[in-house]
Structure 1
């Protein structure tokens, strides 16, 4: 059964750019209030604050917090705030769309970089992978994951394939997908669905940072059966649709939102 998102709450990690930003807009258009967490320096923080105001002008509440999503202190500070804002009900939608990590190879490249360090690898997996598990633990402990809630985590084809300079992020995505499967099973008794969303090639600030991204963009634009790249709006629309049901039976999956791109690349 489909339900209205009017007056519900969404918690979005990575709300200030890319798919997180566009999903916040789509959910706000559906009447959903937004709690956003992002990690930006001065200029980015100002832009995020302005975006929160823009969302608020649509008639919903929008509260953004500039915090390190992987820090325990951030969870300790924000979990009570989330409880207060949602009047103790918690968010109906949780989106983990965090793109912050090291882009490099595992091993030293001839004439290139030195390869990933232990600190870089640990940080990348912690931020982009393990933080989903930590936030879910604390939300559940605070009784802020209501029955019918939907948890989404953004993954990529890099979680199962080898891409140049993507090794630490690839590891993080593989960890993230493993956590999605485990959380789906462990949260099933609570009626909470957990899925990974595998977007097709989408031009975002994070994609631009990947070595050789222009070649990837050109290739995927050429071969995508839909004749174009995936847009952040495509992913946002899918998340809104999946969030608009009380059913928790679609869970533990990696859902492709890519126009069939992964079938042909």
Structure 2
């Protein structure tokens, strides 16, 4: 199996993972949903993948849309051939950042449409893609599926409620898919990254204070980087079996469990 499919490939953890997997020799298929102003990011990634000598197929389309899956899955089946798909990475980070109840600046609070969209993009789309890829026979024994979650499932920010709900649903989907794909030898895990400076994080209104807090509490004395997450995916992909499955695995340098401890804040 020589191909990886990355949903959310052009920036942040998705991009770092594409490069790291390409460095191991995997060919890269990817979905990104960018405006013309951000087209340069995808072009730069293509140039990097060319430099690494792997095949690639990056598509600018809405990964949460049924039409996109209907077009991309057969295309990927043709590209991968008998080799199938080695890795699927779900790194979609488009959701609403609106408080549930009205407050200054948000006179209406969260709408049903906003909540439904956030859950569909950031959680349910993992199920839809897995269903379609499995139906196409693209997952063979030893394939790996990774979904990127966050500590927002157990912590809160004023504007993060809908995204937190989506990440919680995503982790639940991971456990169920792990159960159902185990007989096929396919491992499914969620990776809980530490606070990482990415375009999606910078859209959170409270991100500056959140970054400062994480930088103080992480025992490593720095924030998580996209490459840290990519390296975890590479390491787990290298495992031949599917015995590590159904988990939410922290990739945060000990940040979550160190938060609030004086020794972590002051380096003692």
Same fold (TM over 0.5): yes
The whole-number CA distance in structure 1 between the counterparts of 2:63 and 2:50 is 23
Instruction: Return 5+ residue gaps in structure 2 as ranges.
Output: 260-268
Contact 2:9 2:15 in 1 (8 A): yes
From 215, 221, 239, the counterpart of 2:209: 215
From 230, 235, 238, the counterpart of 1:241: 235
> What is the CA-CA distance between 1:43 and the residue it aligns to?
2.1
1:75 aligns with 2:69: yes
Q: Secondary structure at the match of 2:83?
A: coil
State the partner residue of 1:30: 24
76-85 or 106-115, larger mean C-alpha shift: 106-115
From 102, 111, 116, the counterpart of 1:117: 111
Contact 2:19 2:48 in 1 (8 A): no
Contact 1:53 1:62 in 2 (8 A): no
The whole-number CA distance in structure 2 between the counterparts of 1:111 and 1:22 is 35
State the partner residue of 2:163: 169
Q: What CA deviation, in whole Å up to 9, does each residue of 1:179-235 have, x standing for no partner?
A: 000000000000000000000010001111112111010111011011111011111
> What is the CA-CA distance between 1:115 and the residue it aligns to?
1.0
Cα root mean square deviation, aligned: 1.2
State the partner residue of 1:231: 225
State the partner residue of 1:98: 92
Contact 2:3 2:84 in 1 (8 A): yes
TM-score, length basis structure 2: 0.94
Instruction: Return 5+ residue gaps in structure 1 as ranges.
Output: 1-6
Q: Secondary structure at the match of 2:113?
A: helix
Q: Secondary structure at the match of 1:148?
A: strand
> What is the CA-CA distance between 1:112 and the residue it aligns to?
4.1
> What is the CA-CA distance between 1:50 and the residue it aligns to?
3.4
State the partner residue of 2:33: 39
The whole-number CA distance in structure 2 between the counterparts of 1:164 and 1:30 is 40
Aligned residues: 259
1:150 aligns with 2:141: no
Contact 2:94 2:118 in 1 (8 A): yes
1:201 aligns with 2:205: no
The whole-number CA distance in structure 2 between the counterparts of 1:223 and 1:126 is 32
The whole-number CA distance in structure 2 between the counterparts of 1:29 and 1:238 is 14
State the partner residue of 2:7: 13
83-92 or 69-78, larger mean C-alpha shift: 83-92
TM-score, length basis structure 1: 0.95
The whole-number CA distance in structure 1 between the counterparts of 2:128 and 2:106 is 35
Contact 2:98 2:106 in 1 (8 A): no
The whole-number CA distance in structure 2 between the counterparts of 1:159 and 1:261 is 15
> What is the CA-CA distance between 1:111 and the residue it aligns to?
6.1
State the partner residue of 2:266: none
Q: Secondary structure at the match of 1:147?
A: strand
Q: What CA deviation, in whole Å up to 9, does each residue of 1:125-184 have, x standing for no partner?
A: 000000000000000101011110000000001122222200111111011000000000
1:56 aligns with 2:50: yes
State the partner residue of 1:107: 101
